[in-house]
Amino acid sequence: MHTPGPWRVCERDACWAIQPETGKAPGNHNEVVYVAKPNPFDATAGSVTSQGRTPDECHANARLIAAAPELLEALDRLAFAALARDATMGDPCNLIAARDELCAAARVVIAKATG
């Protein structure tokens, strides 16, 4: 089981910290994971997560990680609604509206991940 979302990205000097949005205030060491920033003074320095990557790519990775719990939930709900839809029966359970709502939620979370 993963740490419950939603998560946020908090910028630090040497990394982006991924933290739960609820609970402790940003910077209070309740991080889920860190994404290291490249060292601007040493192109060969850095952890496995930053080595050879640009600052923009590392920040994009942090945003994607922060969106992971919401992506999982939205896509899980979307998959359920899509699988439950039976075109031969019309729309007795109003699943088309639910599908549209869930697709919109998925797009919002995907936008969070992609900046």
Q: What is the mean pLDDT of each run of 10 residues along the chain (115 residues)?
A: 80 84 66 79 54 75 88 81 65 73 82 78
Phi-psi region of 52 (alpha: psi -120 to 50; beta: other; left: phi over 0): left
| Block residue for tokens 């993963």 | 2
Output the pLDDT for position 48.
Answer: 45
What does pTM read for this prediction?
0.61
Sequence spans of domains, the chain: 7-114
- The SS3 call for residue 73 is helix
The predicted structure's pLDDT at residue 19: 85
Residue 32: per-residue pLDDT: 82
The predicted pLDDT at position 58 comes to 77
CA–CA distance, 30 with 19 (Å, rounded to integer):
6
Q: How far is CA 55 from CA 38, 80, 86, in A?
A: 6, 37, 46
- The DSSP bridge partners found for residue 34 are 17
Query: Which pLDDT score is estimated for 18?
Result: 85
Three-state SS at 33: strand
What's the pLDDT score for residue 40? 65
